[in-house]
Structure 1
Amino acid sequence: MDKYFVYPQDVDNFGFDWGRLALTCAPEVNGAAKFSAGVVFVPPGQGHSRHNHPGAEEIIFIIKGTGEQMIEDEAGTPETREVGPGCTVFIPESRYHATQNTGSEPMEIFVVYSPVGPEEVLRDAPDFHLIPASDLNGA
């Protein structure tokens, strides 16, 4: 694997009941120190529940598919918007948010976390399982 040019199937993916995350830019992948990033795959009708990343900001960019993105404001009031290809969503530091695929096709979402690290907490999720890159080749 070339550490500068990484495809989602080149790395072990984080699997969940709602989809998977391929970290394509992270300390263990290519030595990234200031941020981490990857591609999230969400099947139709699925999504991740309300959560936050304490101390970190997040950028979400919708590559493919349609869904709903919820972000809570500073007072904790949720705001939900329809999102689709080309939409960039900024999640302020420590803010609660959730994503739901409301379309009939899989969603592909590019995410960036800064600083690096909040994605590692996902390993503690009860439905977490590692999907080896060898299982993804040809997917």
Structure 2
Amino acid sequence: MSPAVQDAAPAADRNSGLAGHNRISTQALTSTAKAAAAEFFDVSPASIRVGWSDDQGMLAMALSLPVSLPALTRIAADPGLVTRSGGSVWDRAHAAKPYLLEKVTALTGSLVSRVDIRVTGVQLSQGSRVR
């Protein structure tokens, strides 16, 4: 099912005399969502799955992805590292929702109503190894 893509242009722009419409493909929306989520969670876009559904004329985005975390040995040596790396997995997923909603809406012009996130695993973040 192709998501319903809304033209978010103001009424003045829509009435400028230019006939036609703009469509953003599902693939373009998905690539944009993957890039934004990969940047926020510090993971590869290839490891992210994105799904779209209609939410009363707007788009609902569903993401399944791993999150990047410091190695447990690094956290044991420096417990404050959890806070500096964005908090717990729950905190990071919660903070990502409004960021991703705004980012994807701003980049695509599509009206995203909500973001659902499913964390599927953990990837160790790159950093100096503990010796």
TM-score w.r.t. the length of structure 1 is 0.24
Structure number with larger C-alpha Rg: 2
TM-score w.r.t. the length of structure 2 is 0.25
Relative to its length, the structure with more strand (as a share) is 1
